[in-house]
């Protein structure tokens, strides 16, 4: 049964550079992925079906409109391949800045591409990902990369595989569009050059102030992560509200995840891939 992990995405830094006429924003972002993720399974079937289960399934409001089924429909329109039985194990919080929906769509495309002998670097597959959302091309590749444009212009960069990471979501969903609308319009400059951890630490997430205005608890989460022993970087990811921290070792990450376990909060220790 073709199974793909929809790895959670982190924005180790996210610089908003300009507002565009098409309603999107010009970004520079350091994309990284962690081991933790949703799980998508795709099987050829006589009739199409889609089921969601897992800890955050209820937050998706049923099996109707979903980035997984949208990805499957776009794949079928382009490449054919017949009907599929698709399941989604929803382990990641929804609308949370770690690209859960984007990662699910990308995992669906990877599974279908594998089943139907479509190369992962097929430009038509990339075009489907691009049309599904700004983060879907990055999730399709699933590698550490510098993203430009609205996030779809990708250049691979050396990552930090195995580095310990903690993800914490304070249980509030925030709208990506609303957070972008709250950006103050000030271009604070590009991401630097050098080793990933150095340029990430020297960078910032320009969406953190507008996200904090929507969900003030984000400031508390970042401060709590930054105060943990062994922390190398603590920041909000994407448009929030999930925050992450990178740690010297797994033991420090596990201790931090335990220290940040509060009622209504989701926290996990994982690793960069």
Ligand X SMILES: Nc1ncnc2c1ncn2[C@@H]1O[C@H](COP(=O)(O)OP(=O)(O)O)[C@@H](O)[C@H]1O
What residues line the site for ligand SUD (CB under 6 A)? 11, 14, 23-25, 27, 29, 97-99, 102, 133-135, 150-151, 176-177, 180, 238-239
Q: Dihedral angle at the C-alpha atoms of 255, 35, 52, 120, nearest 10 degrees?
A: 170
Q: What's the alpha-carbon Rg for the chain, to the nearest Å?
A: 18
CB of 26 to ligand X, least distance (A): 18
The rounded distance, in Å, linking the Cα atoms of 131 and 115 is 22
**261 Cβ contact list (under 8 Å, min separation 6):** 267
The nearer residue to ligand X, 67 or 160, going by C-beta atoms, is 67
Residue 150 contact, options ligand SUD, ligand X, none, Cβ 5-8 Å cut-off depending on partner type: ligand SUD
- Helix (H) / strand (E) containing 109: helix 100-115
Stretch that binds ligand X, among 62-70, 182-190, 202-210, 222-230 (CB under 6 A): 62-70
Contact pattern for ligand X over residues 183 through 222, marking x by CB under 6 A? ----------------------------------------
**Does the annotation flag 95 for ligand binding?**
yes
The two tokens of residue 59 are 């937050």
89 binds ligand X (CB under 6 A): no
Phi, psi for residue 19 in degrees, rounded to 5: -90, 135
Query: Which position among 121, 135, 187, 198 bears the catalytic label?
Result: 135
CB of 131 to ligand SUD, least distance (A): 10
User: Is position 9 annotated as part of the catalytic site?
Assistant: yes
Query: Which position among 9, 38, 90, 206 bears the catalytic label?
Result: 9
Phi, psi for residue 69 in degrees, rounded to 5: -70, -30
The two tokens of residue 160 are 């930090």
Annotated active-site positions, please? 9, 135
């Amino acid at each position: 049964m073709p199974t793909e992990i929809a790895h959670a995405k982190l924005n180790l830094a996210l610089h908003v550079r300009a507002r565009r006429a098409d309603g999107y924003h010009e970004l520079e972002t350091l994309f990284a992925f962690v081991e933790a993720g949703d799980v998508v399974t795709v099987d050829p079937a006589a009739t199409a079906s889609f089921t969601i289960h897992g800890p955050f399934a209820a937050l998706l409001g049923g099996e109707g409109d979903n980035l997984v089924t949208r990805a499957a429909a776009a794949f079928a329109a382009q490449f054919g391949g017949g009907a599929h039985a698709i399941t989604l194990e929803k382990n990641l919080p929804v609308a949370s800045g770690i690209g859960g929906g984007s990662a699910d769509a990308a995992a669906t495309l990877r599974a279908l591409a594998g089943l139907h002998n479509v190369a992962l670097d097929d430009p038509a597959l990339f075009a489907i990902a691009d049309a599904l959302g700004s983060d879907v091309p990055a999730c399709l590749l699933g590698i550490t990369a510098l993203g430009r444009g609205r996030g779809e212009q990708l250049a691979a960069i050396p990552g930090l595989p195995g580095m310990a990471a903690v993800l914490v979501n304070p249980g509030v969903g925030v709208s990506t569009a609303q957070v972008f609308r709250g950006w103050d319009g000030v271009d604070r400059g590009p991401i630097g050059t050098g080793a990933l951890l150095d340029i990430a630490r020297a960078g910032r997430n320009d969406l953190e102030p507008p996200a904090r205005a929507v969900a003030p608890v984000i400031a508390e989460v970042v401060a709590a992560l930054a105060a943990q022993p062994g922390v190398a970087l603590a920041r909000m990811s994407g448009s929030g509200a999930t925050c992450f921290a990178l740690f010297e070792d797994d033991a420090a990450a596990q201790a931090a995840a335990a220290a940040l376990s509060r009622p209504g909060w989701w926290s996990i220790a994982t690793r960069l891939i």
